[in-house]
Amino acid sequence: MQPGHGTTCPTSTRSSSDESDSDAAMLKYKWKRLFKQASIFKEYEKALLAKLKRRYEDNKEAFETQHSEKEDLQRACIKT
């Protein structure tokens, strides 16, 4: 028989159930990957918020210290 004549062979040997299993596996992989990325993002967000909170507390303490020193100087000036 000459090539291209007679019975034709399927171009793909995969069955539809193999394709659906493959699609399901791909979706499962993508879902796990997205979930991991979301988890990483949440951890990053928590770390960033903690950093901002520490910076705020440090600035607040510095401001309060500076403000109390200013009040002390004003009181000292008033007494003299």
Q: Is residue 36 part of a domain?
A: no
pLDDT in tens, 56-78: 998 888 888 887 877 877 777 87
Residues 43-70 as b/e (b if ≥16 CB within 10 A, e otherwise) read eeeeeeeeeeeeeeeeeeeeeeeeeeee
Is the pTM above the cut of 0.75? no
Q: Is residue 55 part of a domain?
A: yes
Measured over the CA atoms of residue 65, residue 69, residue 75 and residue 76, the dihedral's sign is positive
Q: How many domains does the chain have?
A: 1
Measure the CA–CA gap between 69 and 80, rounded to whole angstroms: 17
The tokens for 78 are: 């008033």
pLDDT in tens, 12-70: 555 677 788 899 999 999 999 999 999 999 999 999 999 999 999 988 888 888 878 77
The letter for the amino acid at 17 is S
Boundaries of domain holding 78 = 48-80
